[in-house]
Structure 1
């Protein structure tokens, strides 16, 4: 990344409004979904609402909540991950929405199911078998039986119920977690989807689950309610995975998702500036934007001098200038910028960036995740 002085490109580009459908964001800065597991029994409390409000008060245009679990017994492996069903959890989310809106920001829930990434016997429902397209874990090993078509219909129904609740509670849109090797992504990935029915086979058939899921949500929420999908090449167990290794293959997937009703693509990478395919400097987000023309969010070590693998190795990260980010934003490579760990470490990150106070930014360390700040 560039080590040029901070003022080569104006940071004001990050603080321009952005409109999609009837939704206008006050800035281009997004808080992406980052698991915190601070919701006992799946219920987000006042501390969770305050946590999101702090970012909303400091210039974040769109907040995407940590992954919230749809109504399925094998959806999660951790009872402190928030649910997106049940009266108590939904009441908690209603307060989150109220506080974020009061602070001037917009908010989407990220609705989520772990699929085969959930270890068997996990809480809060250890008796429930994990589910996935072929019953294969992320290494391709057989763990359970493949999902039946009846199970697929039920899971899609749970996603639709979650999206309907999001709209009813006043959320400004909804994001489907289709990345990192979780359930939706397990259908996309050939290693975990070896079905021979209409949900497996070539790229289009492996996308059929997601197509039906998005179409059902679109039918429920109407034409103007934003639907985002988080996508990635990498998986939790394989940072170098690249199932879609050419622009043509990626374009095939994106085309059917757009036709189904996806408005926004949230492009998860370790480093936002790394070229996605040989022969082009375009990032993953840049290619998605080029291939679809849809609203695109970039993410991946924004503002940090180490990527997230450093965190998994117990290291911290210092701050890096954002000139390359600003240059790519000026070139319309993407529309919105998701700031992850830097925003965890410093709720006022956006305000300090706007005011040129890069030296006042708090340093991100793994210990940050031990407290709700």
Structure 2
């Protein structure tokens, strides 16, 4: 097995040079109040991970409007001047300690809920409610599963155009305040992925019909953002098979279908991808579709030829779902993550829960002290350590 040194080799995403291959995964924290404005505590939270030498930080998911896009209470936005000014403080603090940071832009679509949208009905490609209970990780009162998703409004062309414009406007704000790039949240069952998936996208227009048509909405977002930010600004797309409302949800049935989506996005202007799975090296497809059992990140990397950041339980013994239900998470040897880089499973490794519990994760791993890392406990979510 390779040693952890592979994690600390430099790399590039588009025009951005990274000092190492350790990424802070995007994780919803919900400490931004009703106005979606990051507080000074949020500034310190991100700066601490950057100061430890983390190669790239992805922010928590950040909504592009404070209405239907907003799925949970307390999440941040990047759609008004107060939010922009607060995020500028985060960016400046991260840069002051030598870090690099990209904002993850988000629209929840049908995974929103009227409790978080001031009563507004969620929107989606089609009027098809999500399965499973609505859970807000920042609100334990929802953990008993008593809330259900509501039927969303099927988006009109005007709705689609408005959301594309909101993503592009937020990307423009991101560049203006100095973010090192943008990650569009096309994973976990949220709005962009709802267009990718034939189960949630049952439209009878140009946004459905085949895999390329279902990628059209995401490509319009990328193209609009690219037009506003310029050719040299890194834009990434997040992908996953599953939804947070249904971990058995499958978006692409075969590698060839995934390749269509990936290459449509590449043609639209993305510079790379961030891929989430339960575990990075779990098979991305059923055995009959991929007998070799490669992970989804591997397939995205092969199809695109672009850099891929991969997230999925690589640093803990329990999956995110298991840990949120209270399971103990024991630290795993980071050499396993480094081996995935050596195997070509990904170009960067995204660390999530372990970096919540350990702001200095990168320092301790780089200096060979990973055995000193603390386990993650669900209670950690209630704090900004």
TM-score by length of 1: 0.94
Q: Distance in 1 between matches of 2:153 and 2:83?
A: 31
Conservation of the 8 A alpha-carbon contact between 1:25 and 1:105:
no
Q: Distance in 2 between matches of 1:132 and 1:200?
A: 13
Q: Determine the structure 2 residue equivalent to 1:73.
A: 67
Count the aligned residue pairs: 364
Q: Determine the structure 2 residue equivalent to 1:31.
A: 24
My pick for the range that moved more, 68-77 or 53-62, is 68-77
Q: Where in structure 2 are the equivalents of 1:291-302 lying within 5 Å?
A: 291-302=303-314
Question: Match for 1:346 among 314, 334, 358?
Answer: 358
TM-score by length of 2: 0.91
Q: Determine the structure 2 residue equivalent to 1:4.
A: none
Question: Secondary structure of 1:230's partner?
Answer: strand
Q: Determine the structure 2 residue equivalent to 1:215.
A: 223
Say if 2:91 is the partner of 1:97: yes
Are the structure 2 counterparts of residues 306 and 79 from structure 1 closer, same or farther at C-alpha, using a change threshold of 3 Å? closer
Say if 2:55 is the partner of 1:61: yes
Q: Determine the structure 1 residue equivalent to 2:322.
A: 310
Q: Determine the structure 2 residue equivalent to 1:355.
A: 367
Segments of structure 2 that go 5 or more residues without pairing to the other structure are: 133-148
How many angstroms does 1:72 deviate by?
4.9
Question: Secondary structure of 2:314's partner?
Answer: coil
How many angstroms does 1:124 deviate by?
4.7
Question: Match for 2:129 among 137, 141, 166?
Answer: 137
Are the structure 2 counterparts of residues 296 and 219 from structure 1 closer, same or farther at C-alpha, using a change threshold of 3 Å? same
Say if 2:60 is the partner of 1:52: no
Question: Secondary structure of 1:42's partner?
Answer: coil
Question: Secondary structure of 2:12's partner?
Answer: strand
Q: Determine the structure 1 residue equivalent to 2:10.
A: 17
How many angstroms does 1:169 deviate by?
0.4
Question: Secondary structure of 1:43's partner?
Answer: coil
Q: Distance in 2 between matches of 1:42 and 1:152?
A: 23
How many angstroms does 1:14 deviate by?
0.8
Q: Distance in 2 between matches of 1:243 and 1:100?
A: 35
How many angstroms does 1:142 deviate by?
7.9
Q: Determine the structure 2 residue equivalent to 1:228.
A: 236
Q: Distance in 2 between matches of 1:20 and 1:145?
A: 37
Question: Secondary structure of 1:172's partner?
Answer: coil
Q: Where in structure 2 are the equivalents of 1:52-201 lying within 5 Å?
A: 52-119=46-113, 121-126=114-119, 128-139=120-131, 143-201=151-209
Q: Distance in 2 between matches of 1:241 and 1:188?
A: 12
How many angstroms does 1:94 deviate by?
0.2
Q: Distance in 2 between matches of 1:281 and 1:200?
A: 29
Question: Secondary structure of 2:310's partner?
Answer: strand
Question: Secondary structure of 1:338's partner?
Answer: strand
Q: Distance in 2 between matches of 1:142 and 1:358?
A: 44
Q: Determine the structure 1 residue equivalent to 2:266.
A: 258
